[in-house]
Chain A
């Protein structure tokens, strides 16, 4: 029944050790977003894909990369996590042709030791 799925729900990594977060969707939406939400803060957009077109926010650190191998999957790669990257990472999708509504996954909480 889940429409936007994020794995894992909780991820622990070590300082500087690369980590990959996964998002998949069953909605067949062509737009996918990655947001970072630090504790007690609002979500902040990192980047998004419109189909295969990648769009990076101007203030997204170079440490963050993304891949979208197909419509259903999107990955967030953090090349060298720092303590400041500990956050909840939210994936969202949207049908770019028909709606302005974004549908969010449950999020992955990243802890950096």
Chain B
């Protein structure tokens, strides 16, 4: 079955430090993968997506993600975290002909000043 796994439930980093959030997928074919961010009490905002082509994908707010087929991973990175990046981050994969999204459990990011 198709699935998306985010191994880290909580991550805390210091402001200005680099960040990597892990995402692993289980799909038979080339997956369509997404990273969304959710601030408390808000909806989901798309950070970036990967469908095909260049495996390093640039997104909004200075985020990037790298698709690694050999590792079944799509990790999200940011070189320098800002306090406003504190939020919940969801990795998701597309499933089915109607683009159903399968979400990982989410990673809650806290940023220390």
Contacts and interface: CB of A to CB of B under 8 A. Distances in A.
Interface of A: 4, 6, 31, 40-45, 48, 50, 55, 90, 92, 94, 96, 100-107, 109
A31 B103 contact: no
Given A90-B43, A101-B46, A104-B43, A42 B98 contact: no
A102 B101 contact: yes
B102 to A, nearest CB: 9
Interface in B36-91: 36, 41-46, 49, 51, 90
Would you list the 10 A-B pairs with minimal beta carbon distance, nearest first?
Answer: A42-B103, A104-B43, A104-B44, A106-B43, A107-B43, A105-B43, A42-B105, A100-B32, A43-B103, A100-B99
A43 B44 contact: yes
16 contacts: A31-B98, A31-B99, A41-B106, A42-B90, A42-B105, A44-B103, A50-B98, A55-B98, A90-B44, A100-B32, A100-B94, A101-B46, A102-B46, A102-B99, A102-B101, A109-B41
A103 B103 CA distance: 15
B82 to A, nearest CB: 22
Nearest to A108: B43
Contacts of B100: 45, 48
Contact of A101 (B42, B49, B103): B49
